[in-house]
Chain A
Amino acid sequence: MEEQEEATGVEIDERRVVGDEDVLRFMDSADGYLTLLDSLSSTLRQGWLDLAIARHSMGASRINGAILDHKLHSAATSVQVDQEDVDSLEGQPRFILHKWASVGDGKQCYEEQEWKEDKLLGKSGSLQLRHRGDSQLYEEKPFENGAELDVDDQVQKERAKSLSMFGTLVSPKLRAAQLSFETALEMLVEIANMRSAMLSSFDKVHKELDHQKG
């Protein structure tokens, strides 16, 4: 009898520990979500400011929605969607940003470059290489200067192509705005991941509460 009571007590304690972990995960992800949104606001504000200055120097007729390219073209920056925690009953999506990863012939060149870099590294994973502009990543591979420069060239070409709809010569502030919005994109993908973590942990806590009430 005492053993049964002890076993039941252990189960309750385990469930409470699991519930506490989920609550902490939920609180952490909610806090991360709000913090990232605050950072996003600052980054977007900088981007809007740079865009306004560029518009002032280049003219409103050169920077507006009417000149946007409506010809057939694929997005150069895309998102990969994976399922995190494959063994879990509830699927949680994971978003990975691929900046300047593919455009027609550019994609072929970029992928070939990627293969060369992978060969140099002796790795099969290539996801990290697609996150350009990451200074930490750049510092980790100092011995691949040749390959890095080629990839950087490709990225710069893609950036220039993206700005080409505004004309051949563009204001430096427009380039600065482009970088701000690129940073904003990275934050948005982090926010998307934080959102899915928050909703996933919320569902678990909610179920735990329902179980306790039941």
Chain B
Amino acid sequence: MANRAQIRTNNSALISMIADEDTIVGLLMAGVGNVDLRRKTNYLIVDSKTTVKQVEDAFKEFTTREDIAIVLISQYVANMIRFLVDSYNKPVPAILEIPSKDHPYDPTQDSVLSRVKYLFSSESVASGRR
């Protein structure tokens, strides 16, 4: 029991977003937008003026907030902070890389698939059993 990984359960958690304007506007129309008492939002619109530092800070904030269950990040934005995204390994919040209008989803860049692709390499389960 001491080694059991505890999942942070929550009955009403938020979905946060770090993405382009159209994706954010669309998802806000679906009702996921949240603004708290300090006027802090659960999203960051990334455009040509957004700096890497701003993206980094938003990612760090969203992944440490207790009220966020899922972080959606456009894959091209995730590439700006790839080291940070790849080094994240907690079960909650779940980080999901999503496509954007101008940048289709590329599975070879996905952080989760990169982590598990080892099983598809020459050191697979099958070869381990020979």
Q: Which A residues are within 8 Å of any B CB, using their own CB?
A: 16, 19, 23, 26, 30, 33-34, 37, 40-41, 44, 47-48, 51-52, 63-65, 68-83, 89-93, 95, 98-102, 158-159, 162-163, 174, 177-178, 180-182, 184-185, 188-189, 191-192, 195-196, 198-199, 202, 205-206, 208-209, 212-213
Partner of B33, one of A69, A80, A89, A159: A69
Set of chain B residues within 8 Å of A80, measured between Cβ atoms: 10-13
Most buried by B among A23, A100, A181: A181
**Stretch from B53-61, B79-87, B97-105 forming part of the interface with A:** B97-105
Tell me which residues across on chain B come within 8 A of A63, comparing CB atoms: 25
Q: Mark B27-48, 1 if CB is under 8 A from A, else 0.
A: 1111111111101011001000
Judging by beta carbons under 8 Å apart, are A40 and B98 in contact?
yes
Q: Given the complex, which residues of B lie within 8 Å of A192, measured CB to CB?
A: 69-70, 94, 96
Interface-central residue, B6, B23, B28, by most chain A CB under 10 Å: B28
Report Cα–Cα, A162/B33, bound state, in Å.
9
A89 to B45, CA, bound (A): 39
**B:63-93 near A, CB below 8 Å:** 69-70, 72, 91-92
Do A70 and B39 touch (CB < 8 A)? Answer: yes
Instruction: Please determine whether B5 and A44 come into contact, CB atoms closer than 8 angstroms.
Output: no
- Are B31 and A99 closer than 8 Å at their CB atoms? yes
Q: Complex: how many Å from CA A162 to CA B37?
A: 19
Q: Which residues of B sit under 8 angstroms from A23, Cβ to Cβ?
A: 125
Closest residue of chain B to A189, judged by CB? Answer: B70
Bound form: Cα–Cα A76–B70 in Å: 15
- B107 contacts A37, CB within 8 Å? yes
| Chain B interfacial positions (CB closer than 8 Å to A) | 3-15, 21-37, 39, 41-42, 45, 69-70, 72, 91-92, 94, 96, 98-99, 101, 104-105, 107, 112-113, 115-116, 119, 125, 128-129
CA distance A26 to B116 in the complex (A): 9
| Cβ of A74 to closest chain B Cβ, rounded Å | 6
Q: Given A93-B91, A178-B26, A198-B112, list of 4 further CB < 8 A pairs?
A: A41-B99, A68-B28, A83-B6, A91-B91
- Main SS class of interface, A: helix
Quote the shortest CB–CB distance from B122 to chain A (angstroms): 13
Shortest CB distance A180–B (Å): 7
A181 interface neighbour in B29, B91, B104, B125, Cβ under 8 Å = B29
Q: Is the CB of A188 within 8 A of B29?
A: no
Leading 3 A-B pairs by shortest Cβ distance = A76-B31, A77-B31, A91-B7
Residue of B nearest to A83 (CB): B7
B36 x A72 contact (CB < 8 A): yes
Query: Which of A40, A185, A213 makes the CB contact (< 8 A) with B32?
Result: A185
Taken together as a complex, chains A and B put the C-alpha atoms of A206 and B14 apart, in Å, by 32
Residues of B within 8 A of A206 (CB): 119
Asked whether A75 and B7 contact (CB < 8 A) given A19-B125, A98-B12, the answer is: no
Q: In the assembly, what is the distance between CA of A26 and CA of B41, in Å?
A: 35
Give the chain A neighbours of B112 by CB distance below 8 A.
33, 195, 198-199
| 5 A-B pairs with C-beta separation under 8 A | A30-B116, A93-B92, A159-B31, A178-B26, A196-B91
